[in-house]
């Protein structure tokens, strides 16, 4: 089973300016490593974390998904991001996983951030999404979901784990960065999985600062890669053999 090269795209976001964001991203992606398997953007990738749902929402065949699909094909890698999607009059903070072939999987954020009144504008998702890609199983999660461990609880049956990698996209403020770091490590340890999490940097229209702290963490809770306070693409190769070794030597999840 092949290893998996993850690219964390920790970037600034221009507030509610889709075209400026996409133009900026295209410049930044020119240096993307050619052997990247999965490229991950922050939450609400081309608008920033906004409640302007009527102005910013798109259908699934709109600008955002079209652009992500184009980039997935161009760079021959899967791309992960979230954006505001409208369906049948409901708005969703939807995380998409788009393969180079154009195949799309998605997950709707289940835990809406009440402090920002996200629950007043968005409909919550009702179920998890696990994507199978290149021999790996990946669970999709968005920002505030991180505070609810029950959403990510991994299970094992007959040596078969529900998933191998937990993916988070976020707009998580700098003032709570210590929570972000601690919770990501906890999710990795308790679920015996890799965690790959991408947050934004810069300042938004609400004067909130973001330090990024985009990270890749192994099943023992070790931080394998972390980037703070700068715009960059960070890479790390996830190794299936190391994951198997942890699960075999420390079969904690079997005791559920």
Q: Are 65 and 96 in contact (CB under 8 A)?
A: yes
Strand, coil or helix: 213: strand
Residue 71 has phi, psi (to 5 degrees) of -70, -35
Say how far apart CA 120 and CA 112 lie, in whole Å. Answer: 9
Q: Is 143 a catalytic residue?
A: yes
- Clarify whether 74 is annotated catalytic: no
CA distance 123 to 121: 7
CB 180 within 8 A of CB 170: yes
- Catalytic residue (choose from 18, 109, 111, 174): 109
| Residues linked to residue 237 through DSSP beta bridges, in sequence order | 5
Helix (H, G, I), strand (E, B) or coil at 48: coil
Alpha-carbon gap, residue 214 to 240, rounded angstroms: 21
d(CA 184, CA 176) in angstroms, rounded, equals 13
Chain centroid, CA 86 distance in Å? 20
43 is catalytic: yes
Query: Is the distance from CB of 212 to CB of 228 less than 8 angstroms?
Result: yes
Q: Which of 18, 99, 143, 174 is catalytic?
A: 143
Supply φ then ψ for residue 79, to 5 degrees. -125, 135
Among residues 43, 58, 99, 118, which one is catalytic? 43
For 8, list phi and psi in degrees, rounded to 5. Answer: -95, 115
Q: How many CB atoms lie within 10 A of CB 2?
A: 12
Catalytic residue positions, numbered: 43, 109, 143
């Amino acid at each position: 089973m092949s290893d998996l090269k993850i690219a964390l795209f920790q970037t600034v976001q221009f507030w509610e300016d889709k075209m400026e964001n996409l133009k900026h991203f295209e410049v930044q992606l020119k240096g993307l490593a050619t052997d990247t398997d999965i490229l991950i953007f922050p939450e609400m990738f081309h608008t920033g974390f906004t409640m302007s749902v009527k102005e910013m929402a798109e259908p699934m065949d709109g600008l955002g998904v079209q652009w992500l699909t184009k980039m997935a094909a161009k760079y021959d890698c899967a791309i992960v991001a979230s954006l505001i999607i409208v369906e049948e009059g409901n708005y969703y903070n939807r995380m998409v996983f788009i393969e180079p072939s154009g195949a799309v999987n998605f997950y709707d954020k289940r835990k809406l951030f009440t402090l920002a009144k996200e629950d007043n504008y968005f409909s919550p998702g009702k179920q998890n999404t696990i994507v199978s890609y290149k021999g790996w199983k990946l669970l999709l999660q968005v920002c505030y979901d991180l505070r609810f461990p029950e959403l990510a609880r991994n299970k094992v049956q007959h040596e078969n784990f529900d998933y191998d990698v937990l993916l988070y996209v976020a707009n998580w403020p700098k003032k709570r960065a210590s929570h972000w770091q601690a919770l990501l490590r906890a999710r990795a340890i308790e679920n015996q999985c890799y965690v790959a999490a991408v947050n934004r940097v810069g300042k938004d229209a609400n004067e909130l600062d973001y330090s990024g702290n985009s990270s890749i963490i192994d099943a023992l809770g070790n931080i394998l890669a972390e980037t703070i306070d700068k715009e960059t693409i960070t890479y790390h190769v996830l190794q299936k053999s190391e994951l198997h070794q942890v699960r075999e030597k420390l079969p904690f999840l079997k005791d559920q």
